[in-house]
A and B are shown apart, each in its own frame.
Chain A
Amino acid sequence: EAGVTQFPSHSVIEKGQTVTLRCDPISGHDNLYWYRRVMGKEIKFLLHFVKESKQDESGMPNNRFLAERTGGTYSTLKVQPAELEDSGVYFCASSQRQGNTEAFFGQGTRLTVV
């Protein structure tokens, strides 16, 4: 069974540009989460989808970040326009259903904004 897959693995963009990160969760997993780790700091929650609906987006830093999960399958996280402080590793995780406590993580996308 395929795990959580994230694309790209690395991205280097200039300040002001747009970047879109993609996450393919494990098939059948209704819950999808985005997290971010800025260098030297802890992994922080960004948002949570249940199927195609945003359950909790309290961790989204500002309106330059837009997450979508059309059809309840894969998800995208767009940063527009990117700023230097957006650099970090973005993790996606999925879990099977509400109340299931184990989330499976992808390898992460390392975003560098220069």
Chain B
Amino acid sequence: AQSVTQLGSHVSVSEGALVLLRCNYSSSVPPYLFWYVQYPNQGLQLLLKYTTGATLVKGINGFEAEFKKSETSFHLTKPSAHMSDAAEYFCAVRGSGYALNFGKGTSLLVTP
């Protein structure tokens, strides 16, 4: 079975600081990995995804993630946090069939 674990339910960073949200996966097959973001009162929006190919994946709003098979990780980063990045972030792996298995989510707080 495929699953993900997000370390840290809440992360706080200063505006302009590096954002690092951690995600580790477990998968018996080559994984398809995703990061979604949920802004207040909105639905889930895809930030980026890894399927095959280049292990460094760039997404929207300056976010990127690196697939590291040896570490079973897919951490999300952004060099400089902006106030508008405050949201809840979800890591997910595609399970059997086409359904997504999500982590518990990480709430990102950006302070001035």
A interface residue numbers (CB < 8 A to B): 3-4, 31, 33, 35, 41-45, 48, 55-56, 59, 91, 93, 95, 98-99, 101-108
Closest A residue, CB atoms, query B101:
A45
Across-interface contacts of B102 in A (CB, < 8 A): 35, 42-44
State the CA gap A105–B45 with chains docked (Å): 7
Across-interface contacts of A43 in B (CB, < 8 A): 44, 90, 92, 100, 102, 105
Q: Are A91 and B43 in contact (CB under 8 A)?
A: yes
Across-interface contacts of A35 in B (CB, < 8 A): 100, 102
Contact pick for A95, options B32, B98, B103, CB 8 Å: B98
B interface residue numbers (CB < 8 A to A): 32, 34, 36, 41-46, 49, 51, 90, 92, 94-105
State the CA gap A78–B92 with chains docked (Å): 26
Closest A residue, CB atoms, query B3:
A42
